[in-house]
Amino acid sequence: MKKLPKKAICKWNKATLEKALPILLQQADQAQYVCRKCGRIAADPKNLCKAMHRSDFDES
């Protein structure tokens, strides 16, 4: 499987997005992290600027 760029998705430029979006989609069903700054989701917290695990929201 191809690897995503290590940078946060939030900081990808247009060229990076075009290359990485298909890989990101492949990983979307495993995404467990959300960026609390911009709302993006990812399987790897390294791809988010302010990653939070989904279990962090299970407070109710």
Which stretches of the chain bind Zn ion, using CB under 5 A?
A: 10, 35, 37-38, 49
Q: Write out the H or E segment, with its range, that includes residue 16.
A: helix 14-27
Q: Write out the H or E segment, with its range, that includes residue 42.
A: strand 41-42
- Kindly tell me which of 13 and 60 has the beta carbon lying closer to Zn ion: 13
Q: How far is the CB of 9 from Zn ion (least distance, A)?
A: 7
- Kindly tell me which of 7 and 23 has the beta carbon lying closer to Zn ion: 7
- Kindly tell me which of 6 and 60 has the beta carbon lying closer to Zn ion: 6
- How is residue 13 annotated by DSSP? -
Unique residue bearing structure tokens 């989904």: 54
